[in-house]
Amino acid sequence: MRNLVVLLIWGCILRGVFSITFVMDKEECFSLKIENGATVHYSFVVIGDADYWEKNDEGVDLVVKGPSGEQINDFRDKISEKSEFLAHHEGVYRFCFTSKSRYHETIDFDVHADNFTYDQKHAKDEHFKPLYEHIGKLEEALYNIQYEQHWLEAQTQRQTIVNKGMSRKATQKALFESLALVGASILQVFLLHRLFDRKLDAQS
């Protein structure tokens, strides 16, 4: 039985768009119904926290499967990834994450199924058909921009956390080196004092 710890921060499903940030323990799967012929863009970023980056950098696995269980993509030990595929069959596609880490993983995950269609009822007039096509393409372009923007935001957040963790380690290292230097100085003073006392005793 899989052990799941999931914290939903935010998510939305709208016309083939799925975005979520979640915390998982070992495994988590998401399903999305996709139309035939759609181009599916998806990405994920392991965000973590400052302590996380000091403990682990193994990444996660992601397996993408089609409606019949056929494997479409398989990523192993990735901290971030962005890819796409063409859906050859209509149905439910599964995106399954797994982690070998002992620590909980915070993951930002995005899916965007790009399949332009226009409403046939309102496109009977040939004069309006090109207009609906342009509106639909513009809508898809806006979704693509939002998808890329979210990907960059997640990458920026991850890098900020990594830098914070590295800064903390650098500070700890500098503090340790300073303490070691102070200790060495105290030891030198003590040894010089002992040597000076012995010389005085020898002269007495």
The amino acid at residue 167 is S
107 exposed, middle or buried (CB, 10 Å; 0-12, 13-18, 19+)? buried
Domain ranges of the chain: 11-162
C-alpha span between 75 and 152 (Å, rounded): 20
* Alpha carbon distance, N-terminus to C-terminus of the chain: 82
C-alpha span between 81 and 94 (Å, rounded): 17
- For the segment(s) 11-162, the CATH number from 1.10.357.10, 2.60.120.380, 1.20.120.160, 2.60.120.10 is 2.60.120.380
Question: For residue 113, how many other CB atoms are within 10 A of its CB?
Answer: 20
Question: Rounded to the nearest 10 degrees, how much is the dihedral formed by the CA atoms of 148, 37, 80, 68?
Answer: 150
> By the 8 A CB rule, do 107 and 60 touch?
yes
40 exposed, middle or buried (CB, 10 Å; 0-12, 13-18, 19+)? buried
pLDDT tens, N- to C-terminus, the chain (204 residues): 344 333 333 334 444 567 888 888 889 999 999 999 898 989 998 886 545 545 555 689 999 999 999 999 999 998 888 899 999 999 999 999 999 888 888 888 988 887 654 444 444 556 566 666 666 666 666 666 666 776 677 677 767 776 776 666 656 666 666 677 767 777 777 777 777 667 666 666
6 exposed, middle or buried (CB, 10 Å; 0-12, 13-18, 19+)? exposed
Place of tokens 């920026």: 156
